[in-house]
């Protein structure tokens, strides 16, 4: 995985809550805990999970809008934590963000043309003709007429504004775009247009996406791989195809079962997930999903399950469905009994790992 465009290693963010009543230090919000993944050039990695599971905090950590409590974000081999202002600015050209709300994320006083060219003008001076040509080119790229460059955001529809947000993100020719709920505020038909536009741009320009969404139908449409988050942690990371065909973690299974099925011929198992999402201030012991899990066993209450690589390349954190093997104990047993060449139980654990 050394050639990954983006590598995230054990990323953790605890939001401090300062001192409260009677100067007692209030416990931190454990928003993101030990999150690791990688993204290849031209790939779309989706991050899904219920509200409050830490998706947007991951996005903010990737963009260095907030500082991590621990862990590393490495882009093209460079750890962004070590970058000082000049290098950080240069690096920011490579990673851009598209936000959920196309209404509030665009400056209402600037024209579409100024909005698009502003990021470039932060780095270099453009002549009037150059900026007009750039705005026209990028508007065309996102399916808008070049003469829209003279309009204000208030004169555009929701879908047109989101296209404008994408054009702005493209202006610096990034290799990675972080899209945080980028289509959630749009009508379903406009959502499909924007998703198709993002996929076309990926094909043409080889851009990678980290696509954050709570909507599984959107993820199934656009994703190559999917990371499922629960209470700040990744519980399953798999190819999109494998995840939807056969979810392994009981939380993934419940999320997919709860999502509306667009195809009536496709039957999904009913897997109810009961109870509320616990607080990230005082998360449950062991597997944090255990209080809501229909298949939890005693071990789940005590021990946190590690992410275990499976034969099809996915990683899953579940004591029941993906039990971690004690490889050392297994090897000693094998040394003692050399008559058996291959252990069929061990073979499942050898697959492509998403650990950096
Ligand atoms: N600045 C902050 N200070 C304290 N706690 C925060 C802060 N930002 C987020 N949190 C908490 O961190 C946790 C994760 O929040 P985050 O916004 O990352 O979740 P999310 O999965 O993106 O949710 P949503 O889908 O609702 O946007 C939540 O419990 C949230 O309340």
In CATH, what number is assigned to the domain containing residue 79?
Answer: 3.40.50.300
User: Do 45 and 240 meet the contact criterion of CB atoms below 8 Å apart?
Assistant: no
Q: Which domain holds residue 185?
A: 6-229
Which range is most confident: 256-270, 299-313, 314-328? 299-313
Lowest mean pLDDT among 23-37, 112-126, 233-247, 297-311: 23-37
ipTM, two decimals: 0.97
pLDDT tens digits for range 73-124 = 998 888 888 788 788 887 878 899 998 876 788 999 999 999 999 989 888 8
111-125, 253-267, 334-348 — which is least confidently predicted? 334-348
11 in contact with ligand 1, CB cutoff 6 A? no
Counting from 1 in the atom list of ligand 1, the atom nearest the Cα of 229 is 21
Give the tens place of pLDDT for each residue, 56-67: 999 999 998 899
Q: Establish if 355 belongs to a structural domain.
A: no
Distance CA 65, CA 97 (A): 11
How many percent of the chain have pLDDT more than 90? 61
Give the Å distance between the CA of 56 and the centre of ligand 1: 7
**Residue 313: inside a domain, yes or no?**
no
Structural domain contains residue 296:
no
- Distance (Å, whole) CA 282 – CA 69: 17
Does residue 133 belong to any structural domain of this protein?
A: yes
Composition of the chain by helix, strand, coil, percent to 5: 35, 20, 45
The Cα 160–Cα 187 span in angstroms is 12
For ligand 1, say whether the CB of 355 is within 6 Å of any of its atoms: no
Tell the burial category of 184 from Cβ atoms under 10 Å away from its Cβ (0-12, 13-18, 19+).
middle
The CA distance from 107 to 305, in Å, is: 45
Question: Which residue of 56, 97, 235 sits with most ligand 1 atoms within 8 Å of its CB, as the best mutation to test the pocket?
Answer: 56
Two tokens, residue 221: 């449409």
Per-residue pLDDT tens over the stretch 141-200? 999 999 999 999 999 998 999 999 999 999 999 999 999 998 888 888 888 889 999 999
Distance, CA 277 to ligand 1 centroid (Å)?
13
Q: Is the pLDDT confidence value at 353 over 60?
A: no
Tokens of 207: 């851009």
For residues 41, 52, 70 and 40, what is the CA-based torsion angle, rounded to 10 degrees? -10
- Evaluate: CB of 299 within 6 angstroms of ligand 1: no
Q: Answer yes or no: is 250 within a domain.
A: no
> Span 323-337, mean pLDDT?
56
Residue 210 lies in a domain: yes
Closest ligand 1 atom, residue 13 Cα: 12
Q: Quick check: is 248 in a domain?
A: no
Question: What is the number of domains present in the chain?
Answer: 1
Helix (H, G, I), strand (E, B) or coil at 148: helix
Closest ligand 1 atom to residue 279 Cα is 29
CA of 28 to the centre of ligand 1 (A): 12
Give the count of beta carbons closer than 10 Å to the beta carbon of residue 19: 10
């Amino acid at each position: 995985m050394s050639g990954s465009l983006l590598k995230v290693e054990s990323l953790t963010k605890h939001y401090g809550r300062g001192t409260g009543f009677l100067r007692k230090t209030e416990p931190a919000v454990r928003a993101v805990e030990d999150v690791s993944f990688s993204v290849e050039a031209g790939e779309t990695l989706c991050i899904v999970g219920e509200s409050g599971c830490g998706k947007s905090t991951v996005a903010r950590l990737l963009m260095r809008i907030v500082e991590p409590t621990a862990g590393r974000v490495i882009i093209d081999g460079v750890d962004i934590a070590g970058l000082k202002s000049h290098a950080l600015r240069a690096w920011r050209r490579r990673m851009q963000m598209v936000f959920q709300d196309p209404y509030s994320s665009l400056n209402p006083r600037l024209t579409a043309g100024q909005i698009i060219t502003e990021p470039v003008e932060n780095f270099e001076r453009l002549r009037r003709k150059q900026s007009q040509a750039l705005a026209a080119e990028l508007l065309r790229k996102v399916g808008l007429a070049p003469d829209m460059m003279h309009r204000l955001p208030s004169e555009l529809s929701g879908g047109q504004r989101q296209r404008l947000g994408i054009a702005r993100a493209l202006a610096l020719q990034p290799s990675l775009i972080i899209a945080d709920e980028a289509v959630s505020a749009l009508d379903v038909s406009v959502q499909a247009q924007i998703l198709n536009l993002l996929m076309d741009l990926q094909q043409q320009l080889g851009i990678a996406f980290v696509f954050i969404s709570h909507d599984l139908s959107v993820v199934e449409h656009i994703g190559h791989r999917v990371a499922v988050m629960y209470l700040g942690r990744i519980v399953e990371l798999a190819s999109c195809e494998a995840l939807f065909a056969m979810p392994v973690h009981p939380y993934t299974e419940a999320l997919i079962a709860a999502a509306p099925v667009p195809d009536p011929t496709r039957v999904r198992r009913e897997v109810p997930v009961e109870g509320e999402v616990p607080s990230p201030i005082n998360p449950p012991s062991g597997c944090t999903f255990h209080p809501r899990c229909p298949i939890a066993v005693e071990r789940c209450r005590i021990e946190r399950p590690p992410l275990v690589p499976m034969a099809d390349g996915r990683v899953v954190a579940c004591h029941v469905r993906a039990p971690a093997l004690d490889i050392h104990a297994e090897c000693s047993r094998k040394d003692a009994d050399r008559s058996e060449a291959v252990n069929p139980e061990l073979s499942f654990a050898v697959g492509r790992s998403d650990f950096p």
